[in-house]
Amino acid sequence: MNILKTSIGIALATVITTAQATALDQARVIENKSNTSSAISQQKIDKSAEATLAYKAEIEQLQEEVKNLVVYRDHLTGLVNSQQQEMVSLNDQIDTIKETRQGVVPLMYKMLSGLTTLVEQDKPIKTEERLHRIAKLEHMMTRADVSDAEKYRRLLEAYQIEMDYGTKLGTYQMQIIVEDNEQIDADMLHLGRVSLLARRLDASQYWSWNTYTNQWEALDSEFNDDLAKAYSVAYKQVAPSLLTLPVSLSLKEVK
């Protein structure tokens, strides 16, 4: 009987031990599963935190870009306003230029007419050259490929050349008609518009332009030395010095 009880006790103890072992294994499995789930959850949390930080950084970057775009928009707005003001100013200038052009073109024709009159009424200083210059200017005035500014510049240039004739000592050669309708090749000399001389190429005879008769007037040989000196100065063969020359002025020029 005692043996039976003992056997039953051992059997019960074995059953209890086995049950406990099974429960422990199950607990361990559950713990492992829990640990695995915790690790997975932690990984998800870590990824979520990283994503949150990335989104936050991206949002901050976008906010900074928005600020920059606002500044750039304000800048463009200022440029547009400035361009509109500039456009208004340019339109006003264009209107002014049109009015100025309408006044400048008649002025240029008056200048050209005045230049022609000057050459025609002036002493015969490089007359052919000056008339040729005026002819080129007249042709230029009708050319569409030359701007008004360029036309005006060339007219001023022509006037400057005419002014130089009146202030400089110059020489050149041309054919002239002297007494007895003799045509000769002559060395010409002018001192501004005060004196205009001619001499034969061999320097044997001199003439002075007579403004009253519009003819060449032969000069006495007693003036030859002074006249030869003037030519030497004009050709820069001797140093400049005081010159004695016949004056050829009209009554209007004297006054």
Residue 202 resides in a domain = yes
Instruction: Determine the average pLDDT of the residues in 35-47.
Output: 78
In percent, how much of the chain has pLDDT > 90?
Answer: 46
Side-by-side strand order, sheet with 206-210: 169-177, 183-191, 195-200, 206-210, 215-218
- Phi first, then psi, for residue 169 (nearest 5°) are -95, 115
> Does the structure show a pLDDT above 60 at 13?
no
- Chain mean pLDDT for the chain: 84
Residue 89 resides in a domain = yes
Contacts of 194 (CB under 8 A, 6+ apart): 245, 247, 248, 249
Residue 242 resides in a domain = yes
The answer on 96 and 157 residing in a single domain is yes
The answer on 96 and 136 residing in a single domain is yes
Of 165, 185, 206, the last residue of a domain is: 165
**Other CB atoms closer than 10 Å to residue 54's CB: what's the count?**
10
> Does the structure show a pLDDT above 90 at 35?
no
Distance, first Cα to last Cα, the chain: 177
Supply the pLDDT for residue 8: 59
Kindly report, residue by residue over 222-247, the tens digit of the pLDDT.
989 999 999 999 999 999 888 888 88
Supply the pLDDT for residue 154: 96
Residue 209 resides in a domain = yes
Kindly report, residue by residue over 125-139, the tens digit of the pLDDT.
999 999 999 999 999
The answer on 254 and 213 residing in a single domain is yes
> Does the structure show a pLDDT above 80 at 104?
yes
- Residue-range definition of the domain harbouring residue 101: 82-165
Supply the pLDDT for residue 14: 60
Structure tokens that stand for 183 in this block: 């045509």
As a whole number of angstroms, the distance between CA 122 and CA 118 comes to 6
Q: How many domains does the chain have?
A: 2
